[in-house]
Structure formats: structure tokens, C-alpha cells
A = this chain, B = another copy of it.
Amino acid sequence: MEIKNYLDEQRQLVEAAFERFIPMAEGDFNNHLEAMRYSLLAGGKRVRPILCLAAARSVGGRNVQDDNILPVACALECIHTYSLVHDDLPAMDNDDLRRGKATNHILYGEAGAILAGDGLLTWAFDLLSNPEYGNLDAEKKLLIIHCIARAAGSFGMVGGQVLDIASENTSFPFERLQTIHRSKTGALITASIMAGAIAAGADQKQLTALENYGMQIGLAFQIVDDLLNATATTEQLGKAAGSDAEHGKATYPAYFGIEETQKRAKQAVAEAKNCLVDFDDKARPLRLLADYIYTRSH
């Protein structure tokens, strides 16, 4: 299946880039750096870096060289990883298992995991602002940093996690679930796409189309995650299955049932692809990625 090969190849590209852009575990801070690397290198689909690269290539242009985009892609994965490390903490979701491996705090202790997360988040901005990496204009780099910081922070991923925790074991209108999904998951996925597009020098029309694409696949991604959490086994997921229900979390299946939820995932994917009508074949990976998200759901 073509998309599997594409995803494998892109994942390998991103993981090879970690060796260039993520510090080795050595020197005075070796234990801390090892804790950061442990979670970053513990696997994962690398969805955000791959979307960043695919969005940049869908625009094309002279900036779209791996050396310019990979530091941004790696920074996005640092931010995603830090969010997982902090979400897994005993004070939050209290998960022992992530991607089939012990979570960070199980190995490095709570303090070690909090600080590994802090280190990964800060390293993302170190990487994004590093004058030695990439040949993008300073203006573009700044726009990318601002786009990512806004999406990762209090009005995006961090704020969404706060809402998600506050909403456990409570009932609330569907609009609030949408707010949680958009901020907790959708914002960083959309920012991954926007960051790649900004790096490539996308024009305003392209940026708007890609932003809408991002919001739709962010939605699809979260709906499918909810579905998988409800229907897959722990072995399939590499993390605790059914944990949403156990934590009393509102999810799409809880509102709409499995069948209607699958329909909504399909619809979001179709709308995502529809945003790309004015893009040529360079956007093919973005179209395949949208389809791929849906195929995970059943």
C-alpha cells in the first residue's frame, strides 16, 4: 500500500534528523538529556513532522529543502512529545504505558519527567530560532515560531488539556467537546501544516486553504483517536485501551455512537481533501494522509 511506504520513508527521514537536531545524552546534563531522548525516540507515527514536510512540498519553491524544513519538523515532534510526557504524569492521566513502553515518569521519576517535558518544549524553540539551522528568512522563522507557540500554548494544546481534565466525569454540551478537540489536538496539527507552508513561502490563498485542511484533518484525527480508544485493544494501541471511558472523558462515540462517529470522521476527511482543490499533484501526499487517517478508524 503506497501510503504505508510513504509514511515509513518520511518517518525514517524525521528520525534520522533527530540525530542532527536533538542533543546527545552526554556531558553534565546527560541523565536529563537521556530522559528527553527516551520519550522522543520511543516511536510514534511522527504525524506532525510528516504533515509539516508534506505541506511545505505541496507549496513547493526554492525553500523546500529538507535542511530548511526538518528543524521545524523536529521541533514540532519535541512539542508533541513533551505534551505526552506531561499528560502521562500521575497528576494528569497517570498512564504507565505509552507506545508499548514504560512512560517517562516510570523510568525517570515524576520530577525527571516534568523536567524532561520542560526541556523538550524549550528545545523546540531553541531549534526553531537556531541561526545555524536552515536558510529561511528571519521573518519567516519568526512567523513559524509565533504560529507554533500560539498553537502549543494556553489558547491551544495546553489550554485544551486543562479543559479536558476539568471536564472528566462531568456532562457538558457538544460544543465544549469541539473546543477541547480543536485546542488540545487540532491546533498543533494545523500549526504543523501552517509552519511547513510558511517555510515554503505559501501565499495567502494557499495558507487559508491549508489552514482549513489542517482543521479538518485535526478533527478527523481526534475522532478516530476517540474511536480507537473505544474499540481497539491495548496491544493494538500500545497504550491503555478504554482509558477514555475509564477517566469519564466525553468522546465522539459517547455523543453519537460508533456508526455516526465513523460517518463524521469520513466527512471531515472529505472536507479536508476538498480544501486542496486548487493544489496540483504536489499535494498528493496531503490527500493520501487524509485518507489514511480514516482507514485507521475501522
Contacts and interface: CB of A to CB of B under 8 A. Distances in A.
Interface of A: 23, 28-29, 31-33, 36, 82, 86, 89, 91-92, 109-112, 114-115, 117-119, 121-123, 125-126, 128-131, 137-139, 141-143, 145-146, 149-150, 152-155, 158-159, 161-163, 165-166, 179, 183
Contact of A158 (B23, B109, B115): B115
Nearest to A86: B114
A36 B158 CA distance: 12
B125 A125 contact: yes
Contact of A149 (B23, B31, B117, B122): B122
A158 B28 contact: no
Given A86-B118, A139-B138, A146 B162 contact: no
Contacts of A86: 114-115, 118
A153 B122 contact: yes
Contacts of A158: 32, 115, 118-119, 122
A21 B142 CA distance: 18
A165 to B, nearest CB: 5
11 contacts: A28-B183, A29-B162, A91-B91, A91-B109, A115-B158, A115-B165, A118-B121, A119-B154, A131-B143, A137-B138, A142-B142
A32 B115 contact: no
Given A31-B162, A141-B142, A149-B129, A121 B123 contact: no
A149 B123 CA distance: 7
Q: Which 10 A-B pairs have the closest CB atoms?
A: A122-B153, A91-B110, A138-B138, A29-B159, A126-B149, A129-B146, A119-B154, A129-B145, A32-B162, A125-B149
Contacts of A150: 126
A250 to B, nearest CB: 15
A110 B111 CA distance: 12
A183 to B, nearest CB: 8
B115 A28 contact: no
A32 B153 contact: no
A142 B131 CA distance: 8
A150 to B, nearest CB: 6
Given A126-B146, A129-B145, A154-B33, A115 B163 contact: no
A23 to B, nearest CB: 7
